[in-house]
Structure 1
Amino acid sequence: MQRLFRVRPRAAARQSAALFALAGGLALLGILNDPMRARDLLLVSAADFVLAISTWFLPWRRWPRQRVALLALPGFVVLGFSTWAFGGVATGTGPFLVLLYAWAALHFSRKILLALLAPAAAAYVVPLVVTHQPPEILGSAVILLPVALAVALLIESQARHLRDDRERLARIERWRAAMIGTLAHDVRSPLTTVQMTLEEVREEATGQTARMLDAALRQTARIDRLATGLLDLNRIDTTGHLQLERQPTPAREAVCAAMTYLSSADVRIDVPHELMMCVDPERFEQIVVNLVGNALRYGKPPVIVTVTSDGSTDRIAVRDHGPGVSVELQARLFTRFGAGDKEGVGLGLWIVRQLAQAHGGEAHYESGDPGAVMVVTLPSIPLVSDGDQ
């Protein structure tokens, strides 16, 4: 349904097809109220359905959007014929004429709306004249046509503003994506050199110097993870998915490997040695790092990492013993930038959810009472569509 409301030639044409189909259906229903005019109603319905079908299947993508405005002309012809066939009764013509004008206003400029005024007036007035309607009936055109035009101009103005805003947001989004990608790449290159230098110095350091270098290495690892997160954000926005390389992975080894990027003194690992998971090891490590890092930052120790499996679903849970998460924040926890504060931009949990969904799983929050439990569930076996991830 969403496709019908995009500002594109095909979408505009299919909206008009829907209007013609609606008119055809109403004409058929009209037979129940007026069986004496069944033949005329069938002609009107047939004309509407022919217009609807042909309009739906014509190759509008190849033509300029303005050409779709010509569909209003056969619509006016059918409306005029309906009025004439019913002896000048314009009960259904007026509202449908306004509806056609509203459709045109959603897609076309004011110039086209003004150009359509003459055929719209002819479709409404000529059948009334031919059927010899009294002046008061003819005078209804003086009210209806300006009202239809005024409504159309208001809709056109709002639609134009919305299109302009959407184009502006699209330009901003393209600039943002380019900036994020460039920033992340530019940060990682010098960061690698800094990290290698710190590691070499750390090998010979002792005492307070060693502790300071350990802290510096943890912070460079944190910056590297942030850069990776920004690249993932950009990749998801661009392609809509992440590339995974799943393989059988020992769960405990993967969790322990993730802990090397964090201060693990306050972390307790409760993962069976024999448990195997079918995951992308690098992405799984990123899930654990983000969840544990979040627990250490916002919760209180001890932080407990557990991984269990019921044979069909693997469950990764990271629990802290802090104050938990307020009800107001729970709905925003796994949204992009939803849980950011002065210590971060709020990408960590959103990336966790994206990585979980890329594996065919999900992420959610549970209350630890006390504390918070961030849970990721993943399928225990490879998905059939794994090659499409």
Structure 2
Amino acid sequence: MHNGLFRLLGTGPRAAARQAGVLLGLAGLLALLGTASDPGHADRLVLVAICDFALAAVALLPWWSRARPNAPAWLALPSFAVLGLSTWSFGGSASGTGPFLVLIYVWAALHFPRWILLAYAVPATLAYLAPLVLTDQPPLVLSSALVLMPVAITVALLIEAQARHLRHERERLARVEQWRSAMMSTLAHDVRTPLATVRVVLEELAAEADPPVAQLVDAALRQTARITGLAEGLLDAQRIDRDGRLQLDLREYPARTLVKETLTHVRSTDAPVTVDVDDAQTLHVDRQRFEQILVNLLTNAMRYGAPPVEVRVTRGDGHDRLEVRDHGPGIPDHLRERLFQQFAVGGPQGIGLGLWIVRQLAEAHGGQASAEARDPGVAMVVTFPSSGSPREHRDT
């Protein structure tokens, strides 16, 4: 259902032709229904319906995808002729012709440049007036074209201008997104390359250093690993944008050990972290991705919240729950709803990717990420399916 709808919508010659096919099919159906209200002209209305359905069939042919962008505009010319035939079939009544003529103009305005809309003026006017003249309609009826055609053309030009503006905006946003993706990829790669050299040097120093110096080198190594993780996070963001899913290495781990080891990557002197995890608690997760989730949540709590920061892991009905709570001022309800969106809370202290990556990684596990109000503070909650529970790997 949704796939069919999305194939109908969009831009390009195939979408334009398909939309024309829908309009023509509707016109043919209404012509058939008209035979019940006007049986005296049933043969003419059946002819109109056959013409509409034939044009609809042509519009729905797959070869339009290989046509030039403006090629489907030719479908309007026979459509105008069929509208004229419809007016003649109803004995000169244009009550149905006028609305469909405007619909054709609206359809054309969504897909084609303004010069095509202006070029339609002559054939559209002839299609409207010719059957009225042939059926000897009074001048008052003929003069309705002086109202209908300017209205149809004006509406079409306004729609065309708006559609053109939206297309230009979409192209601009596509260029911005392409630049952003290239920047993130370049930054991540350029950061990882020198970090690898730094890491090798630090490891050599750690092997020969005295204990006091070795502790400092060990701290530097942890932070080097942290920066590497941030670079990999940027690459993750790029991969999520491009591919929509991540491959996970899911295994069973002791939850307390995972949390404790992750804390070694976080500087917590200004905001002490308390851990409330049962020794028997386990998590069925990708280790690297779980560490990335927890580090992002802890960093967010220390940056925007207030101490103490608490980490809890509990087991519920078919899922495990990771909760990182701070005791800060909290988050307003309207912001909490969009907190895990991309670039939702960027600012001087960050670019707003951390919580978005958390949500993507949680959903890749088959879980969810959310923010819950506390008094005081806020709790960032991530759920994971427990071992043996069904997992729904979703496209992100």
TM-score normalized with structure 2 length: 0.87
- For residue 107 of structure 2, the aligned residue among 103, 116, 128 is 103
Match of 2:11 in 1: 7
Is contact 1:13–1:56 with CA below 8 Å preserved after alignment? Answer: yes
Describe the SS at the equivalent of 2:322.
Answer: strand
In structure 1, the residue matched to 2:60 is 56
Is 1:275 paired with 2:290? no
8 A Cα contact 1:8 1:65, kept in partner: yes
After TM superposition, give the deviation of residue 287 of structure 1 in Å. 0.8
- C-alpha displacement of 1:316: 1.1
Aligned to 1:168, the other structure's residue is in SS state: helix
Q: State the Cα deviation string for residues 275-309 of structure 1 (Å, max 9, x = none).
A: 33332211111111111221222223332222222
User: Which amino acid in structure 2 is aligned with residue 73 of structure 1?
Assistant: L
> What is the identity, as a one-letter code, of the residue corresponding to 2:170?
R
Pairwise mapping of residues 227-376 of structure 1 onto structure 2 (< 5 A)? 227-264=231-268, 266-310=272-316, 312-376=318-382
How far off is 1:202 after superposition? 5.9
CA contact (8 A) 1:3 1:11 kept: yes
Match of 1:78 in 2: 82
Could you give the per-residue CA deviations for residues 155-200 of structure 1, whole angstroms, max 9, x where no partner exists? 2222222222222221221122111101111011112333444455
Structure 2 residue ranges without an equivalent (≥5): none
User: What corresponds to 2:119 in structure 1?
Assistant: 115
Letter in structure 2 aligned against 1:75: S
Cα distance per residue 1:212-267 (max 9 Å; x no partner):
76765565444333322211111111112222222333322222221120135622
- CA offset at residue 384 of structure 1? 6.7
CA offsets 1:14-58 (integer angstroms, 9 cap, x no match): 211221233234334445544544444344334334433442343
Deviation readout 1:342-366 (Å, 9 max, x if unpaired): 2211211111001011112110011
2 CA distance for matches of 1:387 and 1:12? 32
Aligned-CA RMSD value? 2.8
Please state whether the residue corresponding to 2:11 is helix, strand or coil. coil
Is the 2:363–2:394 contact (alpha carbons within 8 Å) kept by the matching residues of 1? Answer: no
* Residue of structure 1 in register with 2:173 after alignment: 169
- Structure 2 CA distance for partners of 1:130 and 1:205, relative to 1, 3 Å: farther
Select the residue among 54, 67, 70 that pairs with 2:71. Answer: 67
Relative to structure 1, the CA distance from residue 10 to residue 243 in structure 2 (aligned partners, 3 Å threshold; closer, same or farther) is same
The one-letter code of the counterpart of 2:282 is: M
State the partner residue of 1:180.
184
- Between stretches 28-37 and 325-334, larger displacement belongs to 28-37
- How much has 1:374 moved relative to structure 2? 0.5
Query: Structure 2 counterpart of 1:341, which letter?
Result: G
Q: Distance in 1 between matches of 2:107 and 2:305?
A: 54
Distance in 2 between residues matched to 1:388 and 1:90, nearest whole Å: 50
Aligned residues: 388
Counterparts of 1:384 and 1:267 in 2: how far apart (Å)? 30
3-state SS in 2 of match to 1:226 = helix
1:196-215 matched pairs, under 5 angstroms: 196-198=200-202, 201=205, 204=209
d(CA) in 2 for partners of 1:211 and 1:300? 28
Normalized against structure 1, the TM-score is what?
A: 0.89
One-letter identity of the residue aligned with 1:340: G
